[in-house]
């Protein structure tokens, strides 16, 4: 670990834990324009920023109908802002974020999202039970159904990580158009550095041909919010759609689906 980490990390942590976090601040016009352009139909919530020596990172929450996700914009000094990452979860870090600043940056993002969730719970007068930095529950809701039956757990709310786990886990890939009940359906988030952003999603195919997944309109609760045909129309042209059957004791006859 190089010496710059020890110089930058205290500055970073002081910034994150300062009173400025969570308060309205001026977002650079170029950053705001990029996020709005990347998904014009989404509701945008600013969650805060994290600074390193030459790059400022701005964190946003996008919500559009059933979908919710996180967008991280990087704004290097003297350059144009760009989308650094976007997904239903940024954890675990991957791609360019696996560099010398990954640990302090990840801790900064976790802190910002955790504080955002706590503030939302207080505003809704709910119990403080969501003290985690996750925004979407797509993987967690699948695990609640699948794990007791199969012993297989995703353990991630990132659509890209869910796809990776399904490709490498005890599963069988099937054609989404012919997927049997109990299949896990996933359409990973796709984005370009200058936009657009296509938020992804994941769910479970039920016995009646409906897909059950976390729904942002209902606080992330698992609902019957798609049919297989409506999912394919929604995601196949932009995100791609993949379907998997779990090989372990999973029969597809999960209760409640």
pLDDT in tens, 121-140: 665 555 444 445 578 899 99
Do 96 and 21 lie in a common domain? yes
Do 63 and 173 lie in a common domain? no
Q: Provide the domain count of the chain.
A: 2
Do 155 and 105 lie in a common domain? no
- CATH number of the domain enclosing 168: 3.90.1720
Which token pair is 180? 């049997």
DSSP-derived secondary structure letter, 134:
-
Count CB atoms within 10 A of the CB of residue 158.
28
CB within 8 Å of 24: residues ≥ 6 apart: none
**pLDDT band, very low/low/confident/very high, at 110 (cuts 50, 70, 90):** confident
Query: Is 66 part of any domain?
Result: yes
**pLDDT band, very low/low/confident/very high, at 94 (cuts 50, 70, 90):** low
Do 73 and 158 lie in a common domain? no
Query: Is 36 part of any domain?
Result: yes
Burial 13-49 (b: 16+ CB within 10 A, else e): eebbeeeebeeeeebeeebbebbeebbeebebebbbb
- Of 65, 96, 123, at which residue does a domain stop? 123
**pLDDT band, very low/low/confident/very high, at 76 (cuts 50, 70, 90):** very high
Query: Is 237 part of any domain?
Result: yes
What is the three-class DSSP state of 11? helix
- Of 98, 123, 148, at which residue does a domain stop? 123
Domain span holding position 31: 3-123
Count CB atoms within 10 A of the CB of residue 97.
18
Query: Is 132 part of any domain?
Result: no
Query: Residue 132 has what pLDDT?
Result: 59
Query: Is 253 part of any domain?
Result: no
Do 94 and 21 lie in a common domain? yes
Do 81 and 144 lie in a common domain? no
Query: Residue 226 has what pLDDT?
Result: 97
Angle at 86 between CA 101 and CA 204, to 5 degrees: 125
Give yes or no for residue 229 having a pLDDT over 80: yes
Do 22 and 119 lie in a common domain? yes
| Least confident piece of the model among 39-43, 58-62, 177-181, 250-254 | 250-254
Do 9 and 116 lie in a common domain? yes
Query: Is 257 part of any domain?
Result: no
Do 117 and 143 lie in a common domain? no
Q: Please list the alpha-helical segments (H only) found in the chain.
A: 3-16, 29-38, 102-123, 138-150, 159-168, 228-235
Do 12 and 103 lie in a common domain? yes
Query: Residue 32 has what pLDDT?
Result: 96
Query: Residue 11 has what pLDDT?
Result: 35
Do 108 and 153 lie in a common domain? no
**From residue 68, how far is each of 26, 102, 135, 148 by CA, in Å?**
24, 24, 7, 26
Q: Is the dihedral of CA 104, 157, 118, 83 positive or negative?
A: positive
DSSP-derived secondary structure letter, 191:
E
Q: What is the pTM of this model?
A: 0.81
Mean pLDDT confidence for 110-131: 69
Closest alpha carbon to 138 in 244, 212, 54, 239 = 212
Query: Residue 129 has what pLDDT?
Result: 45
- Of 56, 91, 123, at which residue does a domain stop? 123
Distance CA 79, CA 100 (A): 21
Query: Is 131 part of any domain?
Result: no
Query: Is 133 part of any domain?
Result: no
- Which of 98-102, 132-136, 222-226 is modeled with the greatest confidence? 222-226
Counting beta carbons within 10 angstroms of the beta carbon of residue 144, is it exposed (0 to 12), middle (13 to 18) or buried (19 or more)? middle
Mean pLDDT confidence for 6-32: 51
Do 87 and 10 lie in a common domain? yes
Distance CA 2, CA 9 (A): 12
Q: Which percentage of the chain shows pLDDT scores above 70?
A: 77
């Amino acid at each position: 670990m190089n010496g710059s980490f020890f110089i930058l990390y205290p500055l970073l942590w002081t910034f994150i834990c300062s009173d400025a976090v969570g308060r309205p601040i001026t977002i650079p016009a170029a950053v705001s324009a990029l996020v709005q352009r990347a998904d014009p139909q989404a509701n945008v919530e600013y969650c805060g920023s994290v600074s390193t020596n030459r790059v400022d990172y701005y964190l946003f929450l996008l919500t559009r109908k059933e979908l919710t996700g996180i967008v991280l914009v990087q704004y290097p000094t003297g350059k144009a802002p760009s989308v650094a990452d976007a997904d239903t979860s940024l954890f675990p870090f991957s791609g360019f974020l696996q560099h010398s600043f990954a640990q302090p940056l990840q801790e900064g993002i976790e802190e910002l999202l955790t504080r955002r969730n706590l503030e939302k719970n207080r505003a809704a007068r709910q119990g403080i039970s969501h003290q985690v930095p996750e925004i979407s529950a797509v993987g967690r809701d699948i695990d609640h159904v699948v794990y007791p039956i199969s012993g297989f757990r995703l353990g991630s709310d990132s659509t890209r990580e869910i796809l990776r786990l399904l490709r490498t886990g005890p599963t069988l890939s099937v054609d989404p158009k012919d997927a049997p009940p109990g299949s896990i359906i996933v359409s990973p988030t796709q984005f370009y550095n200058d936009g657009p952003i296509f938020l992804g999603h994941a769910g479970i195919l039920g016995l009646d041909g409906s897909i059950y997944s976390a729904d942002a309109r209902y606080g992330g609760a698992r609902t019957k919010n798609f049919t297989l045909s409506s999912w394919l129309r929604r995601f196949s042209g932009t995100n791609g759609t993949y379907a998997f059957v779990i090989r372990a004791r999973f029969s597809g006859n999960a209760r409640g689906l």
